[in-house]
């Protein structure tokens, strides 16, 4: 086990927000552990290498967050081989748009498994290792769909509503145990390659701070981790100044 400020696990560490969260916690001296599904694990190398090049500690893991045994083993491995888990961020998105008449049972079930059931497993395993120590921070990344279902987003909104309810239940149960559980509502487009491929004017919007910056979101996550117990935030809304809500 390394001598550090502990470990931060980012479940769902894509090239955008997940990578930014990992970089910012690494800058705070935590050993960051990043996960993606096994078939996408190679994409973690860029982020891991960049963090190490900047003097931080990073580890990539190919894990299906929907698999109960694999998730339990991941937490045990990090606690044993990396460092004590002080922060866990559940950051799986699964934002899909299907008209309700075209939403198959397979689509609905998969979105729920990725964004809700996997969140339950992450939360349960976090509690398992953190409660005996009476400390730790668990952050769930939510979206506009966490509080408002939009047309064509029945599957996504259903899963994100469930994740928000999970976070609320866990906060009420684990807060008295010394565990800070937070849920963020990330309301708006997040700058990155994906959004720039969809929105031709994304670069101009980013220059005007009209879409969300992954790094700025990540800084808010670090702030949640650093909050004193006398003033914990459970739910945090993050949106650009120009976003309608």
pLDDT in tens, 130-144: 999 999 999 999 999
Return the top range by mean pLDDT from 42-46, 92-96, 187-191, 217-221. Answer: 217-221
Q: Residue 4: is its pLDDT beyond 80?
A: no
Q: Which residues contact 188 (CB under 8 A, 6 or more apart)?
A: 144, 211, 212, 239, 240, 243
pLDDT band, very low/low/confident/very high, at 217 (cuts 50, 70, 90):
very high
pLDDT band, very low/low/confident/very high, at 63 (cuts 50, 70, 90):
very high
Look up residue 147 and give its DSSP letter: T
Q: Encode pLDDT of 79-91 as tens digits.
A: 999 999 999 999 9
Task: Give dist(CA 6, CA 228) in Å, integer.
Answer: 18
90 or 197: whose pLDDT is higher? 90
Q: Which residues contact 76 (CB under 8 A, 6 or more apart)?
A: none
Determine how many CB atoms are found less than 10 A away from the CB of residue 173: 13
Topology, domain 7-238: Rossmann fold (3.40.50)
pLDDT band, very low/low/confident/very high, at 2 (cuts 50, 70, 90):
very low
pLDDT band, very low/low/confident/very high, at 3 (cuts 50, 70, 90):
very low
- Domain residue spans of the chain: 7-238
């Amino acid at each position: 086990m390394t001598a550090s400020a502990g470990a931060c696990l980012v479940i769902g560490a894509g090239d955008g927000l997940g990578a930014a969260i990992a970089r910012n916690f690494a800058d705070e001296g935590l050993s960051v552990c990043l996960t993606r599904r096994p078939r996408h694990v190679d994409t973690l190398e860029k982020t891991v290498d960049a963090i190490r090049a900047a003097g931080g500690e990073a580890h990539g893991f190919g894990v299906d967050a929907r698999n109960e045994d694999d998730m339990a083993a991941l937490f045990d491995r990090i606690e044993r081989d990396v460092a004590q888990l002080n922060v866990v961020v559940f950051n799986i998105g699964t934002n899909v748009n299907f008209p309700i008449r075209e939403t198959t049972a397979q689509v609905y079930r998969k979105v729920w498994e990725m964004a809700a059931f996997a969140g339950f497993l992450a939360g349960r395993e976090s509690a398992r290792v953190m409660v005996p120590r009476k400390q730790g921070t668990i952050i769930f990344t939510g979206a506009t769909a966490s509080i408002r279902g939009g047309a064509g987003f029945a599957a996504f909104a259903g899963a994100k509503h469930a994740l928000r309810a999970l976070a609320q239940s866990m906060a009420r149960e684990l807060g008295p145990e010394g565990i800070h559980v937070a849920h963020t509502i990330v309301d708006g487009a997040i700058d990155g390659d994906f959004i720039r491929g969809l929105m031709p004017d994304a670069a101009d919007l980013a220059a005007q701070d009209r879409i969300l910056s992954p790094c700025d979101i990540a800084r808010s996550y670090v702030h949640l981790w650093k909050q004193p117990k006398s003033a914990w935030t459970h739910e945090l809304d993050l949106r650009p100044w120009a976003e309608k809500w």
